[in-house]
Each structure stands twice: as structure tokens, then as C-alpha cells.
């Protein structure tokens, strides 16, 4: 009994001390409107449950927060999150707070110091180095790959047309993976025809463990997670994906060095280069591990996002037949019955399609939450933090 009382007393004392040291934070939090929070847990309970319940909860919480103020708050256990929907405030935050939120750290074991999770100083340096490789003219070099993989997608969808209901997103994701892999590292993976290679299975498994950790608070501390079978599964699968990219990097480095040895000018603008070749050839002096981290980050960032936008756009075109007719007629005018691949000039003529894609991204944003840590006072339009 004495032990229980002592533990209880110790915890209470620590809690009072903890609250006292954060007095200013609590006073500030009290000045902000809030919705649906519980004592101690705050809003954590909104983020529990399976994917569907979770999505419903997040949507409802965001709608409520949006209604009660431009700047509101969420408490996740002891962490205070300031929530804003105002574009001006978001710009101020993104310009002033470069450190990513704690939740991004679950990607770190996989992506190391890739752009998503790199510490701020390294991020600044690498971001500057990598910026030129995302230039429009480099993306344009890959329009024929978009066309080639798009044609395979159309064939695969044609097989399903008129049959039973099916999930189009799986098909789109495979196509996007083929495009991203070829553009990022020059690898023709053919995920559209062979989706279940050990590498693809490992990648899927790592992603599902990371998303699971995000929404299961008891799985978040490493000390607890490392005791579970998921941790072992994650380590094995991360090793498989790292090994794959490492091999591609080594192969590519050897190729680049061989070509340089043969006095091939790697900085000419004539031959198309994948992102890995550009990272290797632009004298950036990135080592193999850094290259792997950037290439893995790019293939992950570039796949789900684009696949979701295309899937949502197809869904909306299905819901709004008149808009679908406009897009269909636009494409019919451009291609005039030909099955040739699109060119850059064709893309410039796809005005209706562009509008549909932009409206899709506005209505169904694929990255709905962006989290940053404050490291200094930040003045938002209405408040001082």
C-alpha cells in the first residue's frame, strides 16, 4: 500500500512540476478555441481506429476546427499543435519553421537523411543541390515514358472494361511506379505486369508498418515498437529495399565512371538522363548512402501522390459526365483517332484536362496535413507564437 501511495505521490508531483514548467504554453493554449478534447488525452482519441473511421474523424475534426476559428489547437497527449487553414499563415509557417514534425521520424529508419526527414542544416544544403534536377525541362524528357506506360495501363484497363466492379487505384499505382522508377533510376521494373516481386512486397510492407505506427500511439515509442514482431518485419523489409537501391546505385556509378573514362561528356544536354545519373554526374559529391536515401525518398514521394491524383480525377470524371465529354472531345481533337504517344505540344493543348486535374487536387488534396516544429517565435497574421 505504501509503495502504491509513493508511486502515486511521485507521479502527481512530477505532473505538477511538468505543468508548472509549461505554464506559458498552457496559458497560450487557453486563449485558443478548441473542439472535442478530453483531459490528459487531448484530441488523441480522434486519431484512433481503422482507416475509414480515422478518415471520418479527421474530416469531422478539421471541419469543426475550421468553423470555430482561423487559428485553433489540437493536443496530442502532451504536445500542442497549432492548426491553421489560412494560406497566408501557412506560408509564414513554411518559411519560418523548417524542422518537420515528430510524426515524420517514422520514415527515418527507411529514408535516413533523404529530403523528407533530413535534419534542417543538411536539408538546406541538399535541397539546394537537388533543386536543379526537378527542373521542368528534365521532366519533359520523360514524356515518352509517360506515354509508353500509359498505353500499357490503357490495355490493362481495357481488359476490365464492361466487367465487374474493380479498384482502379491498384492499376494506376503500378503504372505510376513504373514511371517513377524509370525517371528516378532508369530501371524498367514492369510493375504493371509483375507487381509481386520481393522488392515490391518489401516496400509495401514497410509502408504499411509506418502508417500503422502513425495512428497507434502505443507503437510510437521505439522502446515498445522494438519489442513487437512488426519491428523485426520492418527491419528485414527495409534491408531488402536498401539492398535493391544500393545495387542500382553501384551499377549506375560504375556506368557513369566508365563513360567518364571514355571521355563522354556527362554534362551535355543531348542525352536523356535519369535523376540518379544527374545526381552522379553533376559533381555533387554525394556518397552511395546519400544517393540511396534521395532516390528512395523520390520514388516514395513521387508515387502515391501522383497515383492518388489520377485515381481521384478518374472518379470525378465518372461523376461529372459533362466534364468527361469535354475532356474526351479535347483529346479526340488532339489525337484524331491516332494511338501515338503524346508530345509536349499535345500536353499544352489539354486545357480542359488540366482544369480537371487542378480542381481534383483542390477538392481531394493528397497531402492534407503538413506538420512543422516551431523553434522560434513566429508571428502569424493574427497571433504571436
Interface with ligand HEM (CB under 6 A): 115-116, 127, 180, 297-298, 301-302, 305-306, 309, 366-367, 370
Q: Is the Cβ of residue 80 or residue 366 nearer to ligand HEM in the bound state? A: 366
CB 380 within 8 A of CB 89: yes
Burial zone of 20 (CB within 10 Å; 0-12 exposed, 13-18 middle, 19+ buried): exposed
Kindly tell me which of 42 and 302 has the beta carbon lying closer to ligand HEM.
302
Q: How many CA atoms lie within 13 A of 270 on its CB side?
A: 4
CA angle, 339 as apex, 335 and 341 as ends, to 5°?
Answer: 80
* Minimum CB distance to ligand HEM, residue 228 (Å): 27
- Distance, in Å, from the CA atom of 331 to the CA atom of 351, rounded to the nearest integer, reads 10
- Three cell numbers written together for 15: 505532473
Least separation in angstroms between CB 363 and ligand HEM = 13
Question: Cell 549506375 identifies what position?
Answer: 252
Nearer to ligand HEM, 34 or 123 (CB): 123
- Other beta carbons within 10 angstroms of residue 354's beta carbon come to 14
Residue 77, judged by CB atoms within 10 A of its CB (0-12, 13-18, 19+), counts as: exposed
**In terms of CB distance, is 233 or 282 closer to ligand HEM?**
282
Whether the CB-CB separation of 354 and 76 falls below 8 Å is answered with: no
- Shortest distance, CB of residue 337 to ligand HEM, whole angstroms? 30
- Which residue's Cβ lies closest to ligand HEM? 302
Name the minimum Å distance from CB 73 to ligand HEM. 19
| Between 282 and 305, CB nearer to ligand HEM | 305
Q: In whole angstroms, how close is the CB of 14 to ligand HEM at the nearest point?
A: 33
Burial of 320 (0-12, 13-18, 19+ CB in 10 A): middle
Cβ at position 301, least distance to ligand HEM in Å: 3
Least Å from the CB of residue 361 to ligand HEM: 6
3-state secondary structure 158-171: HHHCCCCCCCHHHH
User: Is the Cβ of residue 157 or residue 301 nearer to ligand HEM in the bound state?
Assistant: 301
| Closer residue to ligand HEM, CB minimum distance, 54 or 129 | 129
Cα–Cα distance for residue pair 153/331, rounded to 1 Å: 17
Contact present, 35 and 64 (Cβ < 8 Å): yes
Nearer to ligand HEM, 256 or 313 (CB): 313
Give the C-alpha separation, 281 to 283, whole Å: 5
Smallest gap from Cβ 385 to ligand HEM, in A, equals 19
Spatial separation of the C-alpha atoms in residues 264 and 271, rounded to whole Å: 11
Amino acid at each position: 500500500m505504501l509503495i502504491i501511495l509513493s508511486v502515486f505521490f511521485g507521479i502527481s508531483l512530477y505532473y505538477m512540476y511538468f505543468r508548472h514548467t509549461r505554464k506559458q504554453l498552457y496559458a497560450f493554449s487557453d486563449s485558443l478555441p478548441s473542439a472535442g478534447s478530453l483531459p490528459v488525452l487531448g484530441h488523441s482519441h480522434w486519431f484512433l481506429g481503422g482507416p475509414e473511421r480515422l478518415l471520418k474523424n479527421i474530416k469531422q475534426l478539421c471541419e469543426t476546427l475550421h468553423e470555430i476559428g482561423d487559428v485553433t489547437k489540437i493536443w496530442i497527449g502532451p504536445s500542442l499543435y497549432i492548426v491553421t487553414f489560412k494560406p497566408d499563415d501557412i506560408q509564414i509557417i513554411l518559411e519560418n519553421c523548417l524542422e518537420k514534425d515528430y510524426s515524420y521520424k517514422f520514415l527515418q529508419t527507411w529514408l535516413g537523411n533523404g529530403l523528407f526527414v533530413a535534419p534542417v542544416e543538411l536539408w538546406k544544403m541538399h535541397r539546394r543541390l537537388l533543386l536543379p534536377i526537378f527542373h521542368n525541362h528534365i521532366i519533359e524528357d520523360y514524356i515518352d515514358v509517360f506515354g509508353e506506360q500509359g498505353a500499357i495501363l490503357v490495355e490493362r484497363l481495357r481488359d476490365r472494361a464492361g466487367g465487374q466492379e474493380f479498384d482502379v487505384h491498384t492499376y494506376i499505382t503500378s503504372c505510376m511506379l513504373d514511371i517513377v522508377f524509370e525517371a528516378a533510376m532508369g530501371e524498367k521494373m514492369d510493375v504493371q505486369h509483375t507487381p509481386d516481386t520481393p522488392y515490391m512486397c518489401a516496400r509495401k510492407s514497410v509502408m504499411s508498418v509506418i502508417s500503422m505506427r502513425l495512428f497507434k500511439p502505443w507503437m510510437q515509442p521505439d522502446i515498445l515498437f522494438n519489442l513487437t514482431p512488426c519491428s523485426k518485419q520492418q527491419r528485414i523489409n527495409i534491408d531488402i529495399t536498401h539492398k535493391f537501391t544500393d545495387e542500382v546505385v553501384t551499377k549506375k556509378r560504375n556506368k557513369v565512371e566508365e563513360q567518364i573514362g571514355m571521355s563522354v561528356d556527362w554534362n551535355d544536354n543531348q542525352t536523356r538522363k535519369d535523376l540518379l545519373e544527374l545526381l552522379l554526374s553533376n559533381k555533387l559529391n554525394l556518397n552511395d548512402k546519400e544517393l540511396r536515401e534521395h532516390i528512395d525518398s523520390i520514388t516514395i514521394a513521387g508515387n502515391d501522390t501522383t497515383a492518388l491524383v489520377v485515381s481521384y480525377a478518374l472518379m470525378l470524371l465518372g461523376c461529372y459526365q459533362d466534364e468527361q465529354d469535354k475532356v474526351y472531345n479535347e483529346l479526340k481533337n488532339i489525337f484524331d483517332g491516332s494511338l501515338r504517344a503524346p508530345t509536349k505540344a499535345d500536353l499544352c493543348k489539354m486545357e480542359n484536362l488540366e482544369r480537371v486535374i487542378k480542381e481534383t487536387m483542390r477538392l481531394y488534396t493528397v497531402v492534407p496535413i503538413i506538420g512543422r516544429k516551431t523553434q522560434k517565435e513566429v508571428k502569424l497574421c493574427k497571433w504571436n507564437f
